[in-house]
Amino acid sequence: MANSTSNPPETFTAAFERARALGLRAVAHGGEVGPPAYVWRALDARHVERIDHGVRSAEDEGLIAAKKG
């Protein structure tokens, strides 16, 4: 089973860059199985607009504060 621990956020950075260049929106899964650091890394490396299943984000008050609003 593939999850965020077997596919770290940086894995598909080039594909996300290409998709954005084509006008597609960037959404990623992260922080469901992997730690909150994976959410940070998905936001920073992939420059996503939204994180799906980022439930472990709640473990990092700094992440929640930075992404509010």
Is residue 61 part of the annotated active site? The answer reads: no
Assess contact for 35 and 42: CB atoms under 8 A: no
> Position 17: which residue type?
E
Catalytic one of 32, 49, 59, 61 = 32
Residue 3 reports pLDDT greater than 60: no
Q: What is the pLDDT of residues 17-68, one digit of tens each?
A: 999 999 999 888 888 888 899 899 888 888 888 888 889 999 999 998 887 7
Measured CA to CA, the distance from residue 40 to residue 60 in angstroms comes to 10
Q: Residue 42 has what pLDDT?
A: 86
**pLDDT of 2 above 90:** no
Residue 3 lies in a domain: no
How many domains does the structure of the chain reveal? 1
Q: Which one, of 48, 51, 60, 13, lies nearest residue 32 by Cα?
A: 51
Note whether residue 1 is domain-resident. no
Classify residue 2: in a domain, yes or no. Answer: no
Angle subtended at Cα 52 by Cα 68 and Cα 3, rounded to the nearest 5 degrees = 130
Residue 28's domain spans which residues? 9-67
Assess if residue 55 is contained within a domain.
yes
> Beta-carbon neighbour count of residue 67 at 10 Å?
14
